[in-house]
Amino acid sequence: MNVILIEAHELTDDGTAVLTDRRAEHIRKILRARPGDRLRVGLLGGLLGSGELLSLTPLRLRCVFDQPPPARPRIHLLLGMPRPITLKRLLRQAAELGLESIELLRTARTEKSYFDSPVLGKLEQYTRQGLEQAGGTRLPSIGVSLRFRPFVEDVLPGRIAANDRALLAVVGAGKPLKSLELAGSQDLHLAIGPDGGWLPFEAELLAQAGFEGVSLGPRVFRTDTALTWAVAQLVCCRRQHPKIAKE
């Protein structure tokens, strides 16, 4: 937990919060903080700041929120619904990477039982863990779509602005993702398939919705490796190249 996240409704007028849950446990047992210590805090959905530990029992923190949270890479994730154990990790990771949103999409290769998983009842819990790790404050929004075609044909186009870029991650042949040249101002939409990949008709519908295939390289990555890999390279593709450009 690299930041203690606090919600606005937990704060009194003078910025004090009384914590009783696993955050209090973490401050006492892991950080072993003492009254007077200052801890890194974040207002969920808002700024970062510091919290002075006023007392351990009850655990009271007086917070000042005055620093901007880390910039986010402005990436929206469209994810073929993975098995629950993978989903848990991906939710944490998406928040850790600072993604804007996650749409969990039922695909032909998604087992129906995945949507009965208790993980779906704890979406905020897992994404919060990702923020606590990374030091972010903004939870990604999360959607669940059980019907592939209506979502891709009717809902998705309304979410992709004219200036956005939509990318479908593939393995092997295809334009390498790492060679894209991206404007810093573009929002990106990244589609990552379920285990085993998209079926051809699914990839075709996504192509019609404006998703261009880009290759992550010759290796077949697990979904979580693919997600981090793709986001890291997209951030890299957005960088400026002043030296090279001047030549």
Q: Which residues bind its own copies (CB under 8 A)?
A: 2, 70-71, 93, 96-98, 133-136, 176, 178-179, 181, 217-222, 225, 228-233, 235-237, 239, 241, 243-245, 247
Shortest distance, position 125 Cβ to its own copies, whole Å: 17
| Dist CA 1 CA 5 (whole Å) | 9
Query: Distance between CA atoms of 195 and 185, rounded to whole angstroms?
Result: 32
Closest approach, Cβ 99 to its own copies, in A, equals: 11
Three-class SS of residue 230?
A: helix
Nearer to its own copies, 4 or 230 (CB): 230
Q: How many residues does the chain have?
A: 247
Nearer to its own copies, 71 or 162 (CB): 71
Measured from the CB atom, the residue of 149 and 219 that comes closer to its own copies is 219
Q: In this structure, are residues 4 and 15 in contact, taking their beta carbons and an 8 Å threshold?
A: no
Q: What is the rounded CA–CA span in Å between residue 37 and residue 39?
A: 6
Q: At its nearest, how many Å lie between its own copies and the CB of residue 26?
A: 14
CA distance 65 to 112: 43
Residue number, 133 or 145, with CB nearest to its own copies: 133
CB of 12 to its own copies, least distance (A): 29
Q: What is the CA radius of gyration of the chain?
A: 20
